[in-house]
Amino acid sequence: MANILIVDDEVGIRELLFEILSDEGHDIVLAENAAAARTARNAARPDLVLLDIWMPDTDGITLLKEWSANGQLTMPVVMMSGHGTIDTAVEATRIGAIDYLEKPIGLQKLLAAVKRGLQRPAAPGAPSPLTLAAFTRSVPLRELQRLVQQVAVTSRVLLLRIGAGSLAELAARSFQAKGAPWLDLSTVSPPLDVNQLQACQGGVLFVPELSRLARTQQKNLAFALERLERYDLRLVVATDHTLDALVREGWEESLVARLFEVSLAPPSIADVRDDLPELASQLLLHLVEAGEVPRRQFSTGALNTLRAQPWSGGYNELRAAVKSLALGTLEEEIGLADVRRLLIPSTEGHVGVSLDQPLREAREAFERLYFEHHLRLEGNNMTRLAEKSGLERTHLYRKLKQLGLQAGRRSEEN
Residues present in the chain in total = 414
Are residues 81 and 171 located together in one domain of the fold? no
Are residues 183 and 206 located together in one domain of the fold? yes
CA distance 6 to 69: 21
Q: The domain that contains 201 carries what CATH number?
A: 3.40.50.300
Residue 393 has pLDDT above 60, yes or no: yes
CA distance 196 to 42: 38
pLDDT score of 29: 94
Are residues 202 and 236 located together in one domain of the fold? yes
Are residues 278 and 328 located together in one domain of the fold? yes
Listed range (75-79, 127-131, 278-282, 300-304) with the worst mean pLDDT? 127-131
| pLDDT band, residue 396 (cuts 50/70/90) | confident
Distance of CA 372 to the CA centre of its chain: 24
Q: Which of 126, 102, 142, 121 is nearest to 13 (CA)?
A: 102
Final residue before a domain boundary, out of 264, 287, 318: 264
pLDDT score of 411: 40
Are residues 181 and 204 located together in one domain of the fold? yes
Listed range (19-33, 94-108, 194-208) with the worst mean pLDDT? 94-108
| pLDDT band, residue 360 (cuts 50/70/90) | confident
Question: Angle CA(304)–CA(307)–CA(312) in degrees, nearest 5?
Answer: 155
pLDDT score of 354: 64
- Considering the chain, what percentage of its residues have pLDDT values greater than 70? 91
Residue 262 has pLDDT above 70, yes or no: yes
Give phi and psi for 360, each to the nearest 5: -60, -40
Averaged pLDDT for residues 394-402: 83
Q: Please, which contacts does 139-143 make with residues 24 or more away whose CB atoms are closer than 8 Å?
A: 140/267, 140/271, 140/272, 140/275, 141/167, 141/267, 141/272, 141/275
| pLDDT band, residue 124 (cuts 50/70/90) | low
pLDDT score of 254: 94
pLDDT score of 111: 93
Are residues 161 and 71 located together in one domain of the fold? no
User: What is the value of pTM for the model shown?
Assistant: 0.67
Final residue before a domain boundary, out of 119, 146, 170: 119
| pLDDT band, residue 348 (cuts 50/70/90) | very low
pLDDT score of 308: 86
Final residue before a domain boundary, out of 264, 293, 327: 264
| DSSP β-bridge partners for residue 27 | 3
pLDDT score of 349: 45
Are residues 93 and 50 located together in one domain of the fold? yes
Are residues 278 and 259 located together in one domain of the fold? no
**Residue 340 placed within a domain:** yes
Helices (H) and strands (E) in the chain, counts: 19, 12
Residue 381 has pLDDT above 90, yes or no: no
**Residue 171 placed within a domain:** yes
Residue 410 has pLDDT above 50, yes or no: no
CB 68 within 8 A of CB 96: yes
Q: What is the mean pLDDT of the chain?
A: 86
pLDDT score of 77: 94
Listed range (14-23, 307-316, 387-396) with the worst mean pLDDT? 387-396
pLDDT score of 399: 84
CA distance 129 to 70: 7
Domain span at residue 306 reads 274-348
Q: Which of 307, 277, 283 is nearest to 134 (CA)?
A: 283
Are residues 343 and 373 located together in one domain of the fold? no
**Residue 414 placed within a domain:** no
CB 405 within 8 A of CB 371: yes
Q: The domain that contains 89 carries what CATH number?
A: 3.40.50.2300
CA distance 369 to 375: 10
CA distance 234 to 262: 13
pLDDT score of 16: 93
- Amino acid, single-letter form, for residue 266: P
Start-end of H helices in 120-178? 139-154, 168-173
pLDDT score of 371: 83
| 194, containing H or E segment | helix 194-199
Residue 37 has pLDDT above 80, yes or no: yes
**Residue 269 placed within a domain:** no
Tell me how many domains the chain contains.
4
| pLDDT band, residue 164 (cuts 50/70/90) | confident
Selected residue with higher pLDDT from 48 and 313: 48
Quick: pLDDT tens for 278-297.
999 999 988 888 888 888 99
| pLDDT band, residue 21 (cuts 50/70/90) | very high
**Residue 99 placed within a domain:** yes
Q: Which of 310, 288, 312 is nearest to 298 (CA)?
A: 288
pLDDT score of 135: 85
pLDDT score of 326: 92
- Considering the chain, what percentage of its residues have pLDDT values greater than 90? 46
Are residues 218 and 338 located together in one domain of the fold? no
- Residue 61 CB contacts under 8 Å (≥ 6 apart), including other chains: 53, 79, 88, 91, 92, 95
Q: The domain that contains 328 carries what CATH number?
A: 1.10.8.60
Averaged pLDDT for residues 315-327: 90
